[in-house]
Amino acid sequence: MTTPGDSGARETWPLWEVFIRSSRGLSHVHAGSLHAPDETMAVRNARDLYTRRAEGVSIWVVRASDITTSDPDAKGEFFESPQGKEFRHASYYSESESVPHL
C-alpha cells in the first residue's frame, strides 16, 4: 500500500509531510509536503516553503513513508458504524427543541 505522498524510489531525498500550527490555541494542520535529506533540514525547508508570510508558530514534519492510513478500498465498510446512529447528535432530539438552555 502506498502512503499519501509516496512517489517512488528514484528520489535522492525522502518525502516529508508538513503540519503547521498557525497560532497558539489551534492544532497543527497539514500544509503540504517537501523533500529533505533529514528531519532537521525538513523543518528548515518547511519554514522557508510554508511560512514565508508568518503562517505558523510551530512546525511538525513526518516522513511520508511513516504514515499509516486507512485502506482506501474499504472506505464504505470502515466508516459505516455511525450510519443510522443519528441519536448521537443533539439535533435528533426534537421534542426538547423549544426548551430554554437545553
Partner 1 sequence: MTTAKTTTAETAVEQAEFDRLIESDSRVEPRDWMPEAYRKTLIRQISQHAHSEIIGMQPEGNWITRAPSLKRKAILMAKVQDEAGHGLYLYSAAQTLGIDRETMFEQLITGAAKYSSIFNYTTPTWADMGSIGWLVDGAAICNQVPLCRASYGPYGRAMTRICKEESFHQRQGFEILLELMRGTPAQRAMAQESVNRWYAPALMMFGPPDDDSPNSKQSMAWNIKRFSNDDLRQRFIDMLVPQAEVLGVTLPDPELKWNEARGHYDFGPLNWDEFYEVLAGRGQANAQRVAKRKKAHDDGAWVREAARAYADARMEERLAS
Which residue in the set 19, 20, 33, 56 belongs to the binding site for partner 1 (CB under 8 A)? 33
Residue 19 CB neighbour total at 10 angstroms: 18
- Comparing CA positions, the residue from 8, 84, 23 lying closest to residue 56 is 23
Which residue in the set 21, 28, 35, 63 belongs to the binding site for partner 1 (CB under 8 A)? 35
Cell reading at 63: 516522513
Which residue in the set 21, 22, 47, 49 belongs to the binding site for partner 1 (CB under 8 A)? 49
Q: Which residues pair with 17 in a beta bridge?
A: 33, 62
Q: Which stretch binds partner 1 (CB under 8 A): 20-28, 36-44, 78-86, 90-98?
A: 36-44
- Comparing CA positions, the residue from 67, 33, 26 lying closest to residue 49 is 33
Contact 3, 69 (CB under 8 A): yes
CB 7, min distance to partner 1, A: 4
By the criterion CB under 8 A, which residues form the site for partner 1? 2, 4-5, 7-8, 10-13, 15, 32-35, 37-38, 41, 48-49, 52-53, 69, 72
